[in-house]
Structure 1
Amino acid sequence: MVGYDPGAQGVALSSEEVALSGSAAGMVTRAIISPFDVLKIRFQLQIEHVSSQRREGKYWGLFQATRRIYTEEGLPAFWKGHVPAQLLSICYGAVQFATFEFLTEMVHKSTPYDSRKAGVHFVCGGLAACSATVVCQPLDTLRTRFAAQGEPKVYSNLRHAVSSMWRTEGALTFFRGLSPTLVAVFPYAGLQFFFYKVFKELLAPPPKAGESGGNLRSLVCGSGAGMISKTMTYPFDLFKKRLQVGGFEAARVHFGQVRSYRGLTDCMVQIAKEEGIPGFFKGLSPSLVKAALSTGFTFFWYEFFLDVMRNMKTRRRTNGLAKDPAER
């Protein structure tokens, strides 16, 4: 069960074990959903005037974009930026889930609120995601830069990217897009945990049925929660991506038009003026597929790894008790 549950039976896990489960869940999920992330970023960074009667961008559909990227850049292109993305997922999963479990436990012990309520999960999930975002933002910026570049590459590897960005743009460039990220991540993550909790309760089996199908239920509930929360907060993800590639315009020229933004407000105004309201939802289709898979698999693998660790601790404890009489 995600979140501190005072009524839960079984072996308690330490904060380190919870963090490890979150990291493992993020790592496995990232490897699965990386192609959808690359597609989403390519669409988000594409400039198209709302008044134009012809296609101005390089990509105009999910299957067309997939074919074009594969033809021009090869299969590995769908895992561009995978190293910083994996580091991001491992770091983000550890901080987010460890913080979430800590906050829900603190709510139970320090406040009159029930830590199992969906509303508590919304607040704790949002705060946990904000903590993880601040810690992991540099890795997110690196991931976006790698996914955004075509051929020839601007950055040959992670070390080259870090040194080049530090030298030419300064340390603050690693935190580009942080303001729209924080604005969006609280409701996005909060809604993920909120709807996950709601769906888990709606799809809970009868008391006598036990916990059969629990992991599959986590996948289904997480997928639904991910799609709803992503749709409701999507524009801020697009703003973040546009701001993160600021100063990176030279690598984007062959993809079409490029723009520079002075900040979040200027980014919103320029997009609304040139691309209209639909511009705020560019890349939504691959993003929804990614959100369904990402959130679903994250909760699935998180619950899976928690169960594995509980079973290991239970077996160790049982074996220890079994040995005691013989040792006396």
Structure 2
Amino acid sequence: MVGYEKDDINAHKKLIAGCTSGVVTRFITQPLDIIKLRTQLQKTNPRKAYKSQWLPTAMRIFREEGLFGFYAGHNLGQMHSILSVSSQFYVYEIATSYADHFHPSNTHQPYIRFLCGIFAGCCSTTLVLPIEVIRVRQMLVNEQYRGIFNGAVMVYRSGGVLAFYEGLSASLMQMGPAVGISFGTFSYLQPALLRFLHDRDCGADGDCAHSTSNKYKPEHILMASTMAGSAAGFLSKTATYPFDLAKRRLQIASHDHNRKYKIPTTARRLFKCRNLTQCILKTVKKEGVVGLYRGWAITIFKAQLTSVIAFTTYEMMCFLLREMDV
């Protein structure tokens, strides 16, 4: 299960599961990430801020850039996803193991796991932010920031070393609590759902045929992880969404379009900010409070899908690794 469990596979094997989860998650959710980003960064009329823009944005991307337009920056996205997802799971496993060692009581476990999740989110964010800044700009104008090395050079030219950490404050304020809520929700719901499914199928006597290396059936793990992952994605992203919006707008603060590159219409007239407070106030002034949730619908769908795939793939990989230990 996610988080430290006595007599479970070690954290290094769970790191393998985290890397696998990152690859699968990024490949499936990349198109949604492109649509979400372009929607969040476009300037709009305040009267239209409440309207869903994801479908028109998706249609324009397809018309102007083709199917591959939805995979702009995918290679760098894979690198980002592997580092981000695996580091989140790995740091969370290590943090919960230390927490269990120093505070083994179950009384405060939900709060401790929430704090461990915040710690994991902040560590992961700090690690991958430079890659994320390059990736975000690739998803805007892929030709201008093509490749990791060229992208890094272009980012550096636009704002020096500090340009790689644009949006750090918003990233920490968004990802820390988001990962804490996500892991805390999942760690609470998934075991409860597993026990329910196990008791329903196996009866009170617990007579249920399954591998000796795994406590639960794979179909139970799949169903419980999907349901818990969906809830975790919805709650974590909704609670922290304004910071996610601000983070994206801060990450392009020093970005300047170069006229020699073809600029998609969905990557023009971008909403930029220089600091977190200014970003929140400017958004409210220009688009109203509802502007803080611009792109919420597609983001929530993507967050739920990401959470379901990440947690489910992770849990199923852990299941396979336990089987291989037999």
Instruction: State the TM-score, normalized to the length of structure 2.
Output: 0.86
Q: What are structure 2's unaligned runs of at least 5 residues?
A: 209-215
User: After the TM superposition, which of the residue ranges 109-118 and 264-273 deviates more from structure 2?
Assistant: 109-118
CA distance in structure 1 between the partners assigned to 2:185 and 2:243 by the alignment: 20
CA drift at 1:238: 0.5
- Partner in structure 2 of residue 28 of structure 1: 24
Answering whether residue 193 of structure 2 is matched by residue 203 of structure 1, we say yes
CA drift at 1:25: 0.5
Answering whether residue 70 of structure 2 is matched by residue 88 of structure 1, we say no
What do residues 14-66 of structure 1 show as CA deviations (whole Å, max 9, x unaligned)? 3322212111101111100111111110111011232x4xx699x95333222
- Partner in structure 1 of residue 3 of structure 2: 3
CA distance in structure 2 between the partners assigned to 1:90 and 1:115 by the alignment: 34
Q: Is the 8 A contact 1:177 1:241 kept in 2?
A: yes
Answering whether residue 70 of structure 2 is matched by residue 78 of structure 1, we say yes
Q: What are structure 1's unaligned runs of at least 5 residues?
A: 315-328
CA drift at 1:270: 0.9
2:300 aligned to which of 275, 280, 288:
288
- Secondary structure (helix, strand or coil) at the match of 1:250 reads coil
CA drift at 1:172: 1.3
Alpha-carbon spacing, 1:308–1:201, altered in 2? closer, same or farther (3 Å): closer
CA distance in structure 1 between the partners assigned to 2:321 and 2:104 by the alignment: 30
Q: Is the 8 A contact 1:3 1:116 kept in 2?
A: no
CA drift at 1:135: 0.7
- Partner in structure 2 of residue 307 of structure 1: 319
User: After the TM superposition, which of the residue ranges 100-109 and 255-264 deviates more from structure 2?
Assistant: 255-264
Q: Is the 8 A contact 2:183 2:232 kept in 1?
A: yes
Q: Is the 8 A contact 1:249 1:259 kept in 2?
A: no
What do residues 274-316 of structure 1 show as CA deviations (whole Å, max 9, x unaligned)? 11111111111111111111001101011111112221122xx
1:243 aligned to which of 230, 246, 250:
250
Q: Is the 8 A contact 2:116 2:180 kept in 1?
A: yes
Name segments (4+ residues, structure 1) moved above 3 Å. Answer: 206-210, 251-256
2:223 aligned to which of 194, 199, 216:
216
Aligned-partner residue type, residue 274 of structure 1? K
- Partner in structure 2 of residue 261 of structure 1: 273
Question: If you compute each CA radius of gyration, which structure gives the higher value, 1 or 2?
Answer: 1
What do residues 118-161 of structure 1 show as CA deviations (whole Å, max 9, x unaligned)? 322211111111111111111111111111227xx322322211
Answering whether residue 175 of structure 2 is matched by residue 185 of structure 1, we say yes
Aligned-partner residue type, residue 95 of structure 2? L
What do residues 227-269 of structure 1 show as CA deviations (whole Å, max 9, x unaligned)? 1111111010000000101122426794443344231111111
Quote the sequence identity (%): 30
Aligned-partner residue type, residue 221 of structure 2? G
Alpha-carbon spacing, 1:274–1:105, altered in 2? closer, same or farther (3 Å): same
1:164 aligned to which of 154, 164, 177:
154
Q: Is the 8 A contact 2:61 2:69 kept in 1?
A: yes
1:119-138 matches, cutoff 5 A: 119-138=111-130
CA RMSD of aligned residues (A): 2.3
What do residues 55-109 of structure 1 show as CA deviations (whole Å, max 9, x unaligned)? 699x953332222211111001111111111111111122111111111111111
User: What is the number of residues matched between the two proteins?
Assistant: 304
Answering whether residue 272 of structure 2 is matched by residue 276 of structure 1, we say no
